[in-house]
Structure 1
Amino acid sequence: MRKSAHSFSFICRSSKLLLILLLCLVNFSQVVSGFKFDLQKLPETLNGPQTSLVRKGYLWNLCSKKFVRIKKPGSRGVDATGTKGKDFTLLKVTSIDGGFLRIQGMDNNLFLCFNKKGKLRIRNRPPRSLPHSCDFSQNLTTLGYHTFKLRDRPDWSVGFKKNGRKLPGFIRPGKNHERCHHFELEIIDLRVRTQPYDFDKLPPGYVFPNERKNKNKQKRRRKIRHKRRKNLRRGRLRGRHLLEKPNGIDR
């Protein structure tokens, strides 16, 4: 009798679980049937206007040891002989679709491009005949330097000589020009920090920006040289000869 009772309870429990599973499946099928996905609207959302990321910064070349500057349109409008913060060295890096980017001068909005022969050239806008001649892919080397290769020709990359003049995009065999195509990208972050500081990673003696501003705003205290004690001492010394009795005569 005990075995039959245990088997009957097991059957009841299993039947309850099966009913619960069936109810869940029915509800899920109703939800899926009500969900509609429009495939026609998908290309419109993907091809619609996309927000691009614009960053400001400086490009430092490893061969010339100086910064890239975009001066004027033409073949002689770019070199790597500038100093930081001067001579058109501030650049604008704009990200575009496909993971590529464009490099422009911040002061004149001129584009850094390649011509058909693989030489650097500054243009007012990307040409219609070569629409991707101003699009670059940013790559990171094992040593931590950045390289900028052309979108249509990955074997062409931006580079400069030791004297700051531009190099052809392709690397000539037998010449050690690979390091001349390496750059350091220094981004200027003008956004306000909203995340909390990680105090474990901050160096000792770090001064926060708010504290720096408050220190500059504080007025310097005037150094007041109190000569009161000295004057009193001098006065006492000077007044003693009046209290003394010269030659024994009382005053």
Structure 2
Amino acid sequence: MTDVDVLTALAEGDRRRARDVAAAGTSLLARALTTYLDHEDAGSVYDQPAAFAAFISGGGNVGLYAAVERALADQYRSLNPLRLADIGCGDGRVIRNALAASGHLPDSLTLIEPSAALLAQAVRDLTPTRAYAGTVQSFLSEVDSGFDLVESTFAMHTIPHDERTEVLTRLRDRTDRLVIVDFDVPDVEHGSPAHLRFLAETYERGLSEYTEDRDLVAGGFLMPVLVGQLAPGASRVTWEQPAAAWRARHKKLVPVAIHYV
């Protein structure tokens, strides 16, 4: 039995079999899934800021986030946006570091974040004009504001495809420029053997990049995200797409800069 067998059982809705197969495995992923399936609860993956913070502060995310901050700083220096908004700002570290690196200070800063706990951290480290604790869908329905630049880093993939298209369409009339940083994934059918192999390899590699914080990152973030996108009835928080699918679906939404990682 392999990690792919575990994920196959999850996708088929057989959690007991998934747990039993995982318990017989020796990989980091198998161990993490065994523990998670034994103690799974219904909370959001963003209910534990410590787990999310540990995840983005370790492994390959260190270099990744540094590159994102440099890219955003370049945008600030180039566009000089006076009215800036960040969708899914998390704990605010990316926009804070990017602003500091660029030396740019917008007249108006809007932070939009569904997790009240993460938004509280962002507000503590920044001084936003508006801090909105909710989804971007709710924000667009409740707040009538325009911006010079709207950015979103690793947040748009948390919105289902059709809703995301609607959000981007509505944003088109609200901003002069929209910058999105998000994930590129293989162009394979969701839940197919190729997709499950990709997930098994990716999550095993991701877990291997952590040591002291591995259990925290696994149980508080990575395993809920993994199980959520496979198990029927689970709380799903990611709808990743290949870069080509992003282009095909949103090619009319210009001017949009999408950075793939």
**Structure number with larger C-alpha Rg:** 1
Normalising by structure 1, we get a TM-score of 0.24
The structure carrying a bigger helix percent of its residues is 2
The structure carrying a bigger strand percent of its residues is 1
